Structure 1
Amino acid sequence: MKKNRLLSLIFTCLILGMMFMPKAKAAEAAAPTGRVTTASTALNVRSGASTSAAVVASLAKDSYVRLLEKNGIWYKVEYSGGRYGYASASYITEVGSAKEATVNTSSGGLNVRTGPSTANGIKTVLAKGTAVVVLSESNGWANIVYNGTQTGYVSASYLKYNTASVSSGYAAVKLSGVPNFKQTDSRWAAVTLGTSGKSIASIGCATTALAMTESYRLGYTINPADMSKRLSYSASGSLYWPTNYVHDTGSGYLKTMYENLKKGIPTIYASTNAYGGSHFVVVTGFKGGSLAASNFIINDPGSNSRVTLDQHIAAYPNFYKLVFYR
């Protein structure tokens, strides 16, 4: 091993068959809200997640919009009651304190006012059961978002909070186009890693995970066999990571993975089992709701059945580190 290498050495992956029980799935919260943070102009809402898609609406600076999911650099938004489009995520900041609620009047509707007082004018009336997002609450009044982008004030006494969103309400994020390679695929399973004499099928989960993230980063397919030719390995078959990859061993790894997804970056998650064997998977999405392992979607190089992070953790419970590109 060369001492001057800037690449870090990772554990050898071991594929050990283990029975597992998935953890209970956390309740999912409704989509949160974002604030438009353009410099001065309005933000275009388009019919699709592309600058070539038609503009269907625009959102004023500092206005609020309901977020449905994140797809790469685009948010799917509700820009009007029941109307949806896509807006650039670069100009939207999530409101972390926003809470989902529904109108809970005993009869009749709930007045939405221009300010937090009965002296303020009525903008509209919301029917019982209408979903709203609460931005803040003070002195018995809630500042809400309704019909996607409209804001106003209502009496907080007539709102029923969604219990999942009171604690958390993170938007769904999905990275489309991350390949789902398996290290046991016959096209590369027998490929030897460096001079180790060991194959991708036996110890190549990290190489396979890296092939997925590099394919996504570069925009073209690099299968595990081709990936192995671009890498260097120790005598035991452990790979040296490319220098543009960051290693994070911090305890806030769930939040880090979520923030990476929002930036359009898949994260390699590594953990170990009771026998010391390590395994690497790629986090490619988040279902929405609470920041729990059960809501993270993964591509597992060593399994067709493990599709969420909690299922991987059941087999490899000891967190090791995150690895992702800059």
Structure 2
Amino acid sequence: IKANGKDGHVSTKYLSTTKPVTGSTPSTPEKTTTKYVNVSSGTLNMRKSGTETASIVAKLSKGTQVTVYSESKGWAKIKANGKEGHVSTKYLSTTKPVTGSTPSTPEKTTTKYVNVSSGTLNMRKSGTESASIVAKLSRGTQVTVYSESNGWAKIKADGKDGYASTKYLSTTKPETESTPSIPEKTTTKYVNVSSGTLNMRKSGTESASIVAKLSRGT
């Protein structure tokens, strides 16, 4: 034979007609799957090996995408954030879970108004009379109602969240003192004193203090 520019002899039993696989030949890539961290709270520990006592390589937050190489005995061999390790398979899901950063469907709300006959309406921390008062709402205050249950409404008013009794909320805005009322019917008259001035008093009694002295013809 001739090999590497040199001539010589070798045993035929160590020669083959096809090229054998060597370490430098790329092997078939390992089959992987993509999964997501799905913890209800906190983070998921990625450990050096598939055991609870192994050292923690990284802490993975909910929704983190991971590459799964293999799964065995409740542990998955994964790669996440450029690091390799093992995590419990029960905290991995094939679909991405909803996380706090994902916009949720807006809650359906209604608009109502505080309708107390007098005083103010207490907005409490929870739906019970013994709960602490968050704010006092005056008659006519517009509130956003999230839900109603057992005579209590979960509301937002003046930038604060709390609960108020449903019986003091109405769908229409009640008249308040600031609402202009029908003007009082008046008549025009003139001061008619034979001499001097007419005392205008603070109240309808001769002993009330004098506010002003009005001349004839005023």
TM-score w.r.t. length of structure 1: 0.21
> Which structure: greater strand fraction?
2
Higher relative contact order (CA 8 A, sep 6+): 1
Structure with larger Rg: 2
TM-score w.r.t. length of structure 2: 0.31
